Amino acid sequence: MTRLTRAAGALLAAAPVVAAAVGAAPGSTAPAANELDIYFIDVEGGQSTLVATPAGESFLIDAGYAGFNRRDPERIVAAARAAGITRIDYLLVTHFHGDHAGGVPELAKRLPIRVFVDHDSTVPGDRNAAPVVDAYAPIRAFGRHIVPKPGDRLPLTGVEVRVVSSGGDTIRTAVSGDGEPNRACEASAREPGEPLENPRSTGVILRYGKFRFVDLGDLTGKPLFAVFCPDNLLGHADVYLVPHHSGADAVAPWTFALQPRVAILNNGENKGGAPEAFTALRQARGIEDVWQLHESRASGAQNFADARVANLDETTAHWIKVSAFEDGSFAVTNGRTGEVKRYGAARP
């Protein structure tokens, strides 16, 4: 297992790849010199989040599903082209479920992947995770492999990516300063909807200057509780990808101690987007806007305004894009409408 502290220097050399590069499409919207772009890609209720850094590096969190006529890898490639990305420098697989890691083998045929980051192992007897690992591990063997521990940092240039959970373990001290007492905490963690692999998700905080983005994968159960209770160890966020596709087991009031300015839901039409999530988000303090990848068809779901929804049904595949700057200001673009909403500099 390669630790992050040893990997930084090694990454200066060229790494093995698993595919020929895909060129940037005409009209590329690669980030400006001082701009960090985050694409939340529509993989129909799975996850795939692509980060293009000002230094020209790429960081992909998850790769959606396998199958569906190679739907998700093609959507990731389309986002990469829009971002001017020709390879994936770091691929973080948050956990070994098919809606997060299933698309990796096909993606690797389309884009080179230099470094694979994941928690490496599964719970013995986990029949859901085992076939995903069986398909993923041979692809991982073509690149470098990092097995992170909570507190480790990925060595991206000019951007700090700190691991806050992985393999069922979590950070024990606050990422910045002292942890803040979380008065919304309940007596104990809520039971996870899936108890084996989701609570093992590798979660990260990305910081670019004063801008903060939090992505915890499908973190649920005791590990999710541990990073928020009794103290909030994560601080505040500008953009928060609500865990577990905004499922009911990931949206207790105490999870919004982050006070995100913007919450993103990577729900699908019929996956995630639980009614409880919409209720909690409407009651959460400090949230200026909620943006959804899909309109939810779940019974009782109170979707936000269409202007904040990228896909109104499954016939389209629009992304949501966040463009962030060092002063903490950022803009969110709805890929369906082209509407851009700007948010000011970081809060004091």
**The predicted structure's pLDDT at residue 322:** 98
User: Taking the CA atoms of the chain, what radius of gyration do you get in angstroms?
Assistant: 18
Residue 8 pLDDT > 90, yes or no? no
**The predicted structure's pLDDT at residue 174:** 96
- For residue 315, count CB atoms less than 10 angstroms from its CB and return exposed for 0-12, middle for 13-18, buried for 19 or more: exposed
All structural domains of the chain, each given as residue ranges with its CATH number in brackets, are 30-336 (3.60.15.10)
Task: State the average pLDDT for the chain.
Answer: 91
Residue 19 pLDDT > 70, yes or no? no
Residue 4 pLDDT > 60, yes or no? no
- pLDDT > 70: what percent of the chain? 90
Residue 24 pLDDT > 60, yes or no? no
pLDDT confidence bin for 270, thresholds 50/70/90: very high
pLDDT confidence bin for 10, thresholds 50/70/90: very low
In this structure, are residues 252 and 206 in contact, taking their beta carbons and an 8 Å threshold? no
Strand, coil or helix: 156: coil
Residues 6 or more apart in contact with residue 174 via CB below 8 angstroms = 180, 231, 232, 233, 234, 235
Residue 247 pLDDT > 60, yes or no? yes
pLDDT confidence bin for 36, thresholds 50/70/90: very high
User: b or e along 74-110 (b: 16 or more beta carbons within 10 Å of the residue's beta carbon)?
Assistant: ebbbbbbbbbbbbbbbbbbbbbbbbbbbbbbbbbbeb
Residue 178 pLDDT > 90, yes or no? no
Residues 41-92: tens digit of each pLDDT: 999 999 999 999 999 999 999 999 999 999 999 999 999 999 999 999 999 9
Residue 265 pLDDT > 60, yes or no? yes
- What's the mean pLDDT in 239-262? 96
Verify cis geometry, omega within 30 degrees of 0, for the bond prior to 275: no
pLDDT confidence bin for 31, thresholds 50/70/90: low
Residues 293-342: tens digit of each pLDDT: 999 998 999 999 999 999 999 999 999 999 999 999 999 999 999 999 99
pTM of the model: 0.91
In this structure, are residues 7 and 115 in contact, taking their beta carbons and an 8 Å threshold? yes
Instruction: Give the helix, strand, coil percentages of the chain, each rounded to 5.
Output: 20, 25, 55
pLDDT confidence bin for 346, thresholds 50/70/90: confident
> Distance between CA atoms of 287 and 233, rounded to whole angstroms?
19
pLDDT confidence bin for 29, thresholds 50/70/90: low
Angle at 187 between CA 185 and CA 192, to 5 degrees: 85
Residue 211: closest CA among 5, 38, 31, 4: 38
Residue 5 pLDDT > 90, yes or no? no
Q: Which has the higher per-residue pLDDT, 255 or 285?
A: 255
**The predicted structure's pLDDT at residue 32:** 65
